[in-house]
Amino acid sequence: MTQTTFPTITDKHELEHGAALAPRFDSAGLIAAVTTHAETGEILMLAWMNAEALAKTLETREAHYFSRSRNALWRKGATSGQIQKVVEARIDCDQDAVWLKVLPQGDGGACHTGARSCFYRIVETDGLKTAPDR
């Protein structure tokens, strides 16, 4: 069974320099998760995690996220085959964002549109353009 509770640390020094994982979830119970390719460093996606998703990710070493639109936990790749094997998980200085370094499975895609990365469009002054590496 996955433990989904994390300690709360109020001491700033302990939060920023201590050894305890004490993620600071927002008022909706979520924390941002940036996911990059473990070998190339490419940003694959930004998603959200609740305590259960973070705990399952750490336990299974496969990325789990929380879908705000479906209001449900989801294991990345459960239906698409785009499972993300977690090589390393980091948390930022004040423990309110997670960084996952993953090895994508399947065809290597991360985006539900079929793109390798969710960041496949370039913002120009006149609108959006699809990146040449899409």
- Take residue 93 and report the two structure tokens written for it: 């200085």
Would you mind telling me the total number of residues written for the chain in this entry? Answer: 134
The pLDDT tens digits for 73-112 are: 999 999 889 999 999 999 999 999 999 999 999 988 899 8
Predicted pLDDT of residue 3: 63
Phi, psi of 77 (to 5 degrees): 90, 5
Whether 4 has a pLDDT exceeding 80, the answer reads no
How would CATH label the architecture of 23-107+116-130?
Roll (3.10)
Share of the chain above pLDDT 90, in %: 86
Q: What is the pTM of this model?
A: 0.91
Q: Confidence class of residue 24 from pLDDT cuts 50, 70 and 90? A: very high
Question: Each residue of 42-62: pLDDT tens digit?
Answer: 999 999 999 999 999 999 999
Q: Tell me the C-alpha distance between 47 and 70, whole Å.
A: 13
The per-type count for the chain, helices as H runs and strands as E runs, is: 2, 8
Residue 17 vs residues 21, 25, 43, 59, 101: alpha-carbon distances, Å: 10, 18, 26, 23, 22
pLDDT digit string (tens) for 114-130? 899 999 999 999 999 99
How much is the pLDDT for 112? 87
Give residue 1's pLDDT band: very low, low, confident or very high (50, 70, 90).
low
For the chain, what are the domain ranges?
Answer: 23-107+116-130
Percentage, residues of the chain above pLDDT 70: 97
Predicted local distance difference test score (pLDDT) of residue 96 = 97
Residue 132 sits at the vertex; the CA angle it makes with 127 and 134, to the nearest 5 degrees, is 95
Model confidence at 68: pLDDT above 70: yes
How far is residue 52 from each of residues 60, 75, 79, 86, 129, measured CA to CA in Å?
A: 12, 11, 19, 16, 36
